[in-house]
Amino acid sequence: MRLTQIQSLFLTHLHRDHYSGLPQLLNYLVRAGGTLEYFVSPQIPDEIGIWRRSLELAHDQTISQQLTAVLKAMKGLQALSSVTHSDHKVMPIRLVDEGFKGEDGWRGQLHPALFFAPVNPTDQTALQLLRSAFEEASLQNTTLNAISHAFLVRYDAGPQRHIGLFTGDLAGPTWRYVKNRCLEITANSIRSELSLVKVPHHGAQDHVMEICVKELINKACSFVASISCPAGDPKHPAQRTLAFLKNSFKDCCIACTNISTTCHEQGYPSVAHELFDQPAKEAEFMEFASSRQPADSLFRSAGACAGNYTITLVEKDYTLERSTGLPCSFNPAGCR
């Protein structure tokens, strides 16, 4: 089955691991005769001058060819045909936080049965941070992460509601603002109705995030903590982040897309076939992970890596299907 009709494409911020696949996506959709309805981002493709300047400041000139391809892809995606709009054109949406509270904070035009509420950034904040970066001729990771697009998604299923929090790469003090906005927009219902949290920055350690997430989510809330982990990255997810999720929430299901050094240290052979692009990279990771295991470590049954996974919402609950078929060895009690 080929996917050819895409409703919305979300871009959180201008870091390579978030936008580098756009040229390939555009090529696929052009070949397949695909359509797109909305391009959603804090800064829309029409602002091409800002995008180009941002990308040049954020990266070394040696990758200028790739940046050029990405910028062309952004414009190309916006030039695709749409199915639902009367002019048959893709609609760019700047989904920024406008300060509304309660039901006024939700927008329902992007997807049937789904409602979106932006919680970061505000238009003013995004422009201020970009301007300061230009003046300093340096766009550091922390600046881009502070601009990172974060939003709530709500699915209403009769009397039951599911809420997801998609965080981009939020980091540091920005979390305090996002926490307060989540509570204002949901009237505190997020505390018990949350079903999914995208853990930012590949599960990196973030003390402010830990404080805010504990204030945002009830300890007994049942939810999935989604962590996209680069294959063979020994630093992500951080052991402290995994331990925080396990110890702070009674029913938190941790779902990592790739293998974790932390689980190898505990004796879990969590390598799943075909998760590495290169055998050399897998060998390098295994050498590093094995060196961190205690000398008397005993290998346990396989686990830890979810691979690609699908979350299905039902009226009162959700199910999580992992492509590897492996349970989470780090926190198996949290996954049903």
The pLDDT, as a whole number, for residue 134 is 59
Task: Assess whether pLDDT exceeds 80 at residue 210.
Answer: yes
Q: What is the mean pLDDT of residues 74-85?
A: 92
Of all residues in the chain, the percent with pLDDT exceeding 90 is 39
Instruction: Give CA angle at 16 (14, 20), nearest 5°.
Output: 110
d(CA 113, CA 125) in angstroms, rounded, equals 30
Cis upstream peptide for 237 (omega within 30°): yes
Residue 245 and residue 274 in contact, taking contact as beta carbons nearer than 8 Å: no
Chain-wide mean pLDDT for the chain? 81
Place of tokens 């911020």: 13
pTM of the model: 0.85
Read off the pLDDT of each residue in 246-273 and give the average, rounded to a whole number. Answer: 77
The confidence score (pLDDT) of residue 158 equals 67
**Coil, helix or strand at residue 296:** coil
For 153-173, the pLDDT digits (tens) are: 998 876 678 899 999 888 888
Report how far apart the first and last C-alpha atoms of the chain are (Å, whole number).
Answer: 29
293-320 pLDDT tens trace: 655 555 566 566 788 888 887 767 778 8
140 or 277: which leads in pLDDT: 277
Classified as helix, coil or strand, 177 is helix
Give every CB contact of residue 323 below 8 A, 6+ residues apart in sequence: 306, 307, 308, 309
* Longest alpha-carbon distance in the chain: 67
Distance CA 316, CA 312 (A): 11
Higher pLDDT, 123 or 150: 150
Q: Where are the beta strands (DSSP E) in 11-106?
A: 35-41, 91-94
